[in-house]
Amino acid sequence: MIGTRPICIAGAGSIGCFVGGALAAAGRDVAILARRRIVDSVETHGLRLTSFDGLDQCLAPGQLQLSDDPAIMSEAEIVLVTVKSGDTAEMAKLIADHAAKDAIVVSLQNGVGNIGVLRAALPGRRILGGMVPFNVIAKGDSHVHRATSGNIIVERDGADTASLLSVPHLAVLASDDIVGVQWGKLLVNLNNALNALSDIPLRSQLAQRAWRSLFADQMAEGLTVLKVAGIKPISATPIPARLTPHLLRLPDGLFNMLLGRTMKIDANARSSMWEDLQRHRRTEIDYLQGVIVELAAKYQIAAPLSLRVMTLIKHTEMSGRGAPAFTPDQIRSRHGID
């Protein structure tokens, strides 16, 4: 069992607050490092956790240690990194300066490059990769809502960290190939940008064959690039990665029946990238489509759809007008794709 030292959530946004809240609700000693606005909100309202599966639990501020001071990491036994990929290097420095040398550091972030950044900045420390498959929506006043299903995956280690972190409403499983798992998640996360550009809920988007076909074409493009690069993704869903584009192109009725058996999606779920656009924040597009574009250039392969989607997101970020409500045809025609 985990000892008396706390688990620290390093850089808590929506995902970090849900993970930290679920751990605290299960009786774990949890410390949360977050921006001052989040600390103030939780200290005022407590932390409310809801989920697609019926969870509705409120934690009083006293059930969590909260601070914007990185010294809160000093006693942590496990540090769960939940910042956006662009902030990983900065967080790694804070961990180096403030966390105990024997603390286990686990990356629960999107993208595939964060482990390398953490290991380079924290030599000699125990660094584990992880993958969070589900979506969490911030609903205001310290209310975070888990909107999709799936289990967290953490790299297997001798301490069985995955099992130590697994609690009710937050199952954590171990993997012997976390790199493959992260690449599989990246392929699924290519839809984050499409959902953001669509400005419609995720379930409604996936219910429309035109959107699914666009997602399928993105995944197929990504799979081609990964194959040439010698990378073998492990699917983040029960459906193998190589089959997912074909299944996405199925007629609506058949696809929706299949989706209902493999994944649960709340009616109001949206991608984190949509939320970033709405709140005028920097997105993680460089760590999703941008990675495919970079690999394609390295191996001299065309990845026009990934490049176009990345360009549209960047233009939308710069405009500051929020999600643009494009249609699939608009995205395709602007890119010159039939």
User: Which superfamily does 180-335 belong to?
Assistant: N-(1-d-carboxylethyl)-l-norvaline Dehydrogenase; domain 2 (1.10.1040.10)
> Phi first, then psi: what are they for 238, rounded to 5°?
-65, -10
CA angle centred on 253, ends 252 and 258, rounded to 5°: 95
Residues lower than pLDDT 50 in the chain:
1, 335-338
In eight-state DSSP terms, residue 313 is: H
CB under 8 Å to 43, separation ≥6 — which residues? 61, 66
| Cα–Cα distance measured from residue 310 to residue 222, given in angstroms and rounded to the nearest whole number | 13
**Cα separations (Å) of 145 from 17, 57, 246, 282?**
10, 11, 31, 21
Instruction: Give the C-alpha separation, 284 to 273, whole Å.
Output: 7
Q: Which CATH architecture has domain 7-176?
A: 3-Layer(aba) Sandwich (3.40)
**Tens-place pLDDT, residues 168-202:** 999 999 999 999 999 999 999 999 999 999 999 99
Report CA Rg, the chain: 19
301 secondary structure, DSSP code? -
Range(s) for CATH 3.40.50.720 in the chain? 7-176
Residue with tokens 């490059």: 113
Output the six-digit token pair for 140.
């205001």
Q: pLDDT tens-digit profile of 126-140? A: 999 999 999 999 998
pLDDT at 256: 83
Parts of the chain belonging to CATH 1.10.1040.10: 180-335
Q: What's the pLDDT score for residue 337?
A: 42
Q: Cα separation of 153 and 132, whole Å?
A: 7
d(CA 198, CA 160): 41
Which residue type, as a one-letter code, is found at position 128? L
